Structure formats: C-alpha cells, structure tokens
C-alpha cells in the first residue's frame, strides 16, 4: 500500500526497464516523423518552388534523418554536397553539384562476366521507374540521378526510396541465386552475438514445430480457416520478434504471398504449400539462418502507411472470427487469431510507432519466455502461474501514451476496460482498445 501511495513501486519498475536490452523489433516504419521533420518537408517544397535548390536539398535530408538511429549522413559546402543513406544491408552514397545529383549502391562484385546475371538485371530494369542497374568494372550497382533543377523533394524521395529498398532486397537474392557474385559493401551492418542468434534460432524452430504440431491435431478441411490464421500469424511473429534479414526474410514474404495470391486454389491447398515452405525453413542449416540475423539501419519503410481505420478493420475482423474458436474451447486458435489482427497490420503497413510499442507490449505478455531469454527482466505475465502483473501493464500503457501525447492528443487507451482474468480475455480487451484509439495527429 505504501509503495502504491508514494510511487516506490513505479520508480523500481522504471529503473528495471531502463536496464533492459535495447533491441529493436519489427520492420522499420518511416511513419513516425516529428513535427519538426514534417515542417522540414514543407520547407523543402517551398524552397524548391522559390528556386532555392540547395536549401531545398538541406531540408529534404533533414526530413529523412531519423536521429534515433542516425541513418543519414549529409554535408554541403556552397553548391556541392555529399550524402549517405542506410537501408538494411546496403548503403546509398551520393553527391550533388550545380548541375546534377547522383546516388549509387553497390550490390555485389562480379569478378567474371555472367550472361545469366545480366539477363536477370535486364528483366528487372523494366520494373524500375527512377533507378537502373549498371556495371562499373567488377562492381554490380544500382544508380539514380537527376538534374539539379528538377530535383524536387518528391522526385528525390521516390527515386532514393526505390534505389535503396530494391537494392537492399536484390543484393541478397542475387548473391544467393548466382554463385559468381560476391557479397560486398556490408561493413556498416552490426553483427549480433552468437548467443542472441542461438536464442532466435531455437525460438524459430520452437514456434514452427509448435504450430505444425497443433495443426496436426485438427481436420485440415474443417479447420482450414483456423489453420491459415495459425500459419500467417507465425510468419508475422517471426518477422516481428526475430526480425530476420536477407533470404530468410524473403522466405517469409513468399509464404505470406502464397495465401494472398489471387487464384482459384482452395485454402486447404494454400495451407499445404505454406506448411511445406515452413518445413524448408526448419531444415535450413543453422549457419545459413545465422547469416540472416543481424542489425541494420533503415531510411525508408518497405510498406506504405495507412489510416488507423485500416488497422482497426484488421483487428475487428480477426476478433470477430475468434469467437467461434473461443466458444468451442480452442483457446490456442483464439489467441493466435487475435494476434493476427495486429501482427498483419504491423507486417503490411508502415505503422505509427506508438502502435508498434503497444504491440510489443502485447507480444511481451504473450511470449515472456522468449523475452526472458533475450535478457528482459520486467515480467508482465507469468505464463507458468497464469498471473498478470496488472499494475505494471497499466503503467507501461500510460507511459507509452504520455510519450506520444504531443503528436496524438486524442489518443485514449482505456485501461479500465482491460481484463486480467485469462490471457485470452486480456488479448481480446487489449486489441479492442487499440482498435478504437483515436489516432488523429496534431
């Protein structure tokens, strides 16, 4: 009682959280610009209209820079300047002068000419709007350029985004598909410890096997909808919590794409194909999985932002489909379907960071053993005893809200509506509160 009255417990919990690992989870979202950054975009457009071209470029790179990860390096001297942007395993390098702006990414080294490689690049060139593939001696590159007079903020944004995101994806695929190519220019990537890789690998295997074992206990035809939910939720959980890069990330995207591909195949068939792809991940050598586990900086999101109603609809649709499984005593299915509603949005859209932070809290409650293995000490839910630390959960939600109050002044997560009697009821009440948040920005 004294702790609650004088706030001693709160100080202790805050101190505990401050010593926890500073891991990042999920896909990078550029839907979190500060008010100052948004103003800089306006400055960039106004300066360009007024023919203040270099001031426009200054403001543009100020808009792109995420101070929390230092993803942009920029400097200018009079009418000349240089810049670097980080995007996953790739680094964009560029410069500008009084005539043009050029940017380049090194994809790989090609010591010997390869007709198959050049054919692949020629085909992919047709799908590029702003950039192009090129060969500089033995360096395989992507390039984007513009005359300085036409380097508007919009052209720079979409041109550099295409260059950075395509290069980040293609370098891994190209070096994986063509043995003649050699990986290069990845010195900026931060390796993670072998211990962390081991934890993530073990959890990857555990989640896949747990999902496949659960699917094996039900009828493939009658439960085809529920099975699809389990498989897709698994993909999005791996994407968010393990955060793989490279070919492993491409594998996850392939599995998700199997279900959402518009064709005449029935869910049972698609489920079978998704299961087969997951089994392929299961048997990948540990060393190959390890190569796709690292930390990197990003400048552009690979998905687009959406209004909160789109996120709310995803949550609502999943929760509506959860009821049958809950009422017929399939709590595992029910919890996974609730998770799908938020995780699908997290995977598919560039999310406001405040929603991502709430989703991370949701995942910490649902997968406490994984976070404990990573070194997180704050326990929001004791899975063995099936007991919540309700005060900690509520305090964390309030802290998240207050951190984003300036940007989302009308956001009001009603903690009094949360249910702490069972994990299923908590998940339902928590996701419902996210669904009905007022995310109108200032």
- Mean pLDDT over 234-253 rounds to 94
User: Is residue 376 a contact partner of residue 360, using CB atoms and an 8 Å limit?
Assistant: no
Other C-beta atoms within 10 Å of 72: how many?
19
Cα separation, 385 vs 338, whole angstroms: 22
pLDDT value at residue 11: 43
Residue 107: name the closest of 156, 187, 180, 174 by CA: 174
User: Residue 342 pLDDT more than 70?
Assistant: yes
Q: SS3 breakdown of the chain: % helix, strand, coil, rounded to 5?
A: 55, 10, 30
User: Residue 9 pLDDT more than 50?
Assistant: no
Question: How would DSSP label each residue in 189-245?
Answer: SEEPPHHHHHHHHHHHHHHHHHHHHHHTTS-TTTTHHHHHHHHHHHHHHIIIII---
User: Is residue 29 a contact partner of residue 351, using CB atoms and an 8 Å limit?
Assistant: yes
CATH number belonging to domain 35-177: 3.30.1460.10
User: Is residue 263 a contact partner of residue 270, using CB atoms and an 8 Å limit?
Assistant: no
Residue 85: name the closest of 70, 72, 74, 75 by CA: 72
User: Is residue 180 a contact partner of residue 114, using CB atoms and an 8 Å limit?
Assistant: yes
pLDDT value at residue 15: 45
Q: Which of 5-9, 81-85, 379-383 has the lowest mean pLDDT?
A: 5-9
User: Residue 258 pLDDT more than 60?
Assistant: yes
Those residues with Cβ within 8 angstroms of residue 125's Cβ, 6 or more apart along the chain or in another chain: 132, 133
Grade residue 4 by pLDDT with cuts at 50, 70 and 90. very low
- Mean pLDDT over 310-331 rounds to 97
pLDDT tens figures, 205-225:
999 999 999 999 999 999 999
pLDDT value at residue 18: 56
Q: Where are the domains of the chain?
A: 35-177, 192-435
User: Residue 346 pLDDT more than 90?
Assistant: yes
- Mean pLDDT over 137-141 rounds to 89
pLDDT value at residue 162: 95
Grade residue 302 by pLDDT with cuts at 50, 70 and 90. confident
- Mean pLDDT over 129-135 rounds to 92
**Mean confidence (pLDDT) of the chain:** 91
Cα separation, 267 vs 339, whole angstroms: 20
Grade residue 394 by pLDDT with cuts at 50, 70 and 90. very high
Residue 358: name the closest of 319, 401, 390, 314 by CA: 401
User: Is residue 192 a contact partner of residue 295, using CB atoms and an 8 Å limit?
Assistant: yes
pLDDT value at residue 113: 84
Q: What is the SS3 assignment for 354?
A: helix
pLDDT tens figures, 140-191:
999 999 999 999 999 999 999 999 999 998 877 788 788 888 887 777 778 8
């Amino acid at each position: 009682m004294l702790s609650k009255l004088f706030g001693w417990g709160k100080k202790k919990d805050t101190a505990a959280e401050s010593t926890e690992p500073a891991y990042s989870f999920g896909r990078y979202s550029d839907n979190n610009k500060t008010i100052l950054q948004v103003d800089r975009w306006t400055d960039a457009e106004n300066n360009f209209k007024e023919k203040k071209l270099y001031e426009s470029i200054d403001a543009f790179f100020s808009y792109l820079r995420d101070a929390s990860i230092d993803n942009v390096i920029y400097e200018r001297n009079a009418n000349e300047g240089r810049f670097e942007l980080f995007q996953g395993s790739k680094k964009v390098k560029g410069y500008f002068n009084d005539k043009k702006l050029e940017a380049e990414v090194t994809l790989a080294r090609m010591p010997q000419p390869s007709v198959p490689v050049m054919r692949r690049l020629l085909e992919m060139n047709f799908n590029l709007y702003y950039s192009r593939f090129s060969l500089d001696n033995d360096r395989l590159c992507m390039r984007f350029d513009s005359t300085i007079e036409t380097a508007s903020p919009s052209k720079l944004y979409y041109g550099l985004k295409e260059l950075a995101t395509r290069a980040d994806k293609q370098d891994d695929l190209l070096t994986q598909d063509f043995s003649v190519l050699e990986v290069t220019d990845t010195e900026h990537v931060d390796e993670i410890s072998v211990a962390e890789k081991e934890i993530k690998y073990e959890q990857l295997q555990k989640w896949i096997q747990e999902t496949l074992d659960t699917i094996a206990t039900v009828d493939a035809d009658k439960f085809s909808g529920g099975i699809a939910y389990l498989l897709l939720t698994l993909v999005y959980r791996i994407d968010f919590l393990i955060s793989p890069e490279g070919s492993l990330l491409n594998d996850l995207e392939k599995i998700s794409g199997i279900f959402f591909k518009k064709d005449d195949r029935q869910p049972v068939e698609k489920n079978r194909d998704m299961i087969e792809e997951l089994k392929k991940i299961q048997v990948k050598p540990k060393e190959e999985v390890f190569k796709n586990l690292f930390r990197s900086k990003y400048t552009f999101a690979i998905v687009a932002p959406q209004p909160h109603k789109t996120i709310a609809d995803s949550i609502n649709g999943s929760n509506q489909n959860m009821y049958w499984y809950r009422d017929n005593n399939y709590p595992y299915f029910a919890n996974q379907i609730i998770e799908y509603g938020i995780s699908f949005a997290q995977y598919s859209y560039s999310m406001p960071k405040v929603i991502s932070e709430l989703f991370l809290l949701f995942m910490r409650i649902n997968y406490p053993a994984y976070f404990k293995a990573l070194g997180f000490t704050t326990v929001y839910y004791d899975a063995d005893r099936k007991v919540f630390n309700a005060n900690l959960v509520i305090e964390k939600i309030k802290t998240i809200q207050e951190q984003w109050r300036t940007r989302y002044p009308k956001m009001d997560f009603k903690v009094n509506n949360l249910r702490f009697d069972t994990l299923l009821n908590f998940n339902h009440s928590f996701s419902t509160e996210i669904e009905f948040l007022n995310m109108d920005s200032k």
